[in-house]
Amino acid sequence: MAGETDVCVNDQQRDRIEMLKAFDETKAGVKGLIDSGLLKVPKIFVRPSEELTQELTYKNITEIQVPVIDLSDIQINADRRKRIVEQVRMASETWGFFQVVNHGISSTVLDAMIDGVRKFNEQDVEEKKKYYTRDIKRRVRFNSNYDLFSSKSANWRDTLAISFSDQINSEEEKELPDSCRESAVEYSKHVTVLGSTLLELLSEALGLKPNHLYNMECSKGHRLGCHYYPACPEPELTLGATKHSDLGFLTILLQNEISGLQILHQGQWVNVEPTPGGLVVNIGDLLQLVSNGKLISNKHRVVANCIGPRISVACFFSGTISEVKVYGPIKELISEENPSKYKEVLLTDYIMKFLNTGLDEYLGLDYYKL
């Protein structure tokens, strides 16, 4: 009897791999499925039955909201800056998430970035295919699900990933798609400045000098994950992004007006509704590690939606992986009363572990606890 079961499981695994390969080879992503007239979610996207059952135990909370922090006058009013640092500290210690408004990036730049992602995804599929790759060394890469072949179920989204160095040169610009080149370069410049400001505030929130996290090269280089979530015919069966925490130091998220982002707070899912002109900020695993657990990297996900497309652009500040870099708890935050909670990590090994594990099976900082 056991032998028959094993054969059945092996057959199912083979069938799944064949379906994944067939989907990947289209190079058209999830949008390609919708454009083909698809009316049901393919098996490769359907969440495991035990996961769907567990979903019934969660309640979605709508009456509480992630903190919204107004960054206006931050550089010119010392008392106001202290209040903002305190707000950032409280949000980062309790939620791991907050939204920022009056952050210095104009709505024109934000709207152009969203529009650029829309244009890229809605252009002729043959043009998009030029960028389709699973080679993580490519500066610009388009695909659906970086972990397509290692996850239990695929997520309902397509992603254009763009890696930027600190100084964007003309050669780098040429590699970007025409549809979003100008908007991505402009947004990248502005979000880099905001990232540096936020790292200053987080340094101060930890009781350190404002440039401490910057000097650790937490913001050296960054990557834009431009996500496109088409409308889904059966949103209750799949997810836009599986529950996970971000691996880097800091993430800044731009999203259009369609909601979908949820964070796990006190055992329940809380919707993070889009705020006009606002950006969502969340602490990553590496920042939790170097802060020795003082700042928390929270689990979050994106639910699928029957309307769309939902478009978001996540800017990941994950440090530089082009050189040998080791990170561990900051020594100023360690004492006899508060010993190290995490091992030191070699950044390249740390990132490769993430990339080689399905998002739904990645254990985050559990790997590095002492």
- Please report, for the chain, the start and end positions of each structural domain, with discontinuous segments joined by +: 2-368
Contact present, 20 and 149 (Cβ < 8 Å): yes
In the chain, beta strands by DSSP E: 60-61, 68-70, 97-101, 140-143, 158-164, 222-229, 239-244, 250-255, 261-265, 268-271, 279-283, 300-303, 310-317, 326-327, 345-346
Strands of the sheet containing 68-70, edge to edge, are 68-70, 97-101, 279-283, 250-255, 310-317, 222-229, 158-164, 140-143
Task: Report how far apart, in Å, the C-alpha atoms of 26 and of each of 22, 80, 132, 231 are.
Answer: 7, 53, 10, 19
Task: Reduce the DSSP state of residue 148 to 3 states and report it.
Answer: coil
Predicted confidence at residue 170, as pLDDT, reads: 76
Predicted confidence at residue 60, as pLDDT, reads: 64
- pLDDT tens for 281-303 read 999 999 999 999 999 999 999 99
**Angle at the Cα of 278 from the Cα atoms of 275 and 281, rounded to 5 degrees:** 110
Could you report how far apart the first and last alpha carbons of the chain are, in Å? 43
Q: Which of 248, 212, 196, 216 is nearest to 355 (CA)?
A: 248
Q: What are the residues facing 263 on neighbouring strands?
A: 270, 300
Task: Reduce the DSSP state of residue 244 to 3 states and report it.
Answer: strand
Distance from C-alpha of 155 to C-alpha of 140, rounded to nearest angstrom? 20
Predicted confidence at residue 76, as pLDDT, reads: 85
Q: What are the residues facing 264 on neighbouring strands?
A: 269
Query: Alpha carbon 20 to chain centroid distance?
Result: 23
**Angle at the Cα of 51 from the Cα atoms of 49 and 57, rounded to 5 degrees:** 115
pLDDT along the chain (370 residues), means of 10: 54 89 97 96 95 78 84 90 97 97 97 98 97 93 94 96 82 90 96 96 97 92 95 97 94 96 90 94 97 96 96 93 85 94 90 79 83
> Do β-strands 60-61 and 268-271 pair in parallel, antiparallel, or remain unpaired?
parallel
Q: Could you give the count of Cα atoms lying within 13 Å of 102 in the half-sphere of its Cβ?
A: 9
Contact present, 300 and 97 (Cβ < 8 Å): yes
- pLDDT tens for 299-332 read 999 999 999 899 999 999 988 776 788 999 999 9
List CB contacts of 298: < 8 A, sequence separation 6 or more.
Answer: 95, 96, 97, 245, 263, 264, 265, 282, 283
Q: What is the dihedral of CA 172, 178, 180, 183, to 10 degrees?
A: 70
20 burial (CB, 10 Å; 0-12 / 13-18 / 19+) is: middle
In the CATH hierarchy, which top-level class contains the domain 2-368? mainly beta
Contact present, 314 and 301 (Cβ < 8 Å): no
Contact present, 256 and 311 (Cβ < 8 Å): yes
Distance from C-alpha of 214 to C-alpha of 234, rounded to nearest angstrom? 44
Predicted confidence at residue 171, as pLDDT, reads: 76
Predicted confidence at residue 64, as pLDDT, reads: 79
Predicted confidence at residue 366, as pLDDT, reads: 86
**Token pair for 347:** 């950044």
Distance from C-alpha of 284 to C-alpha of 301, rounded to nearest angstrom? 14
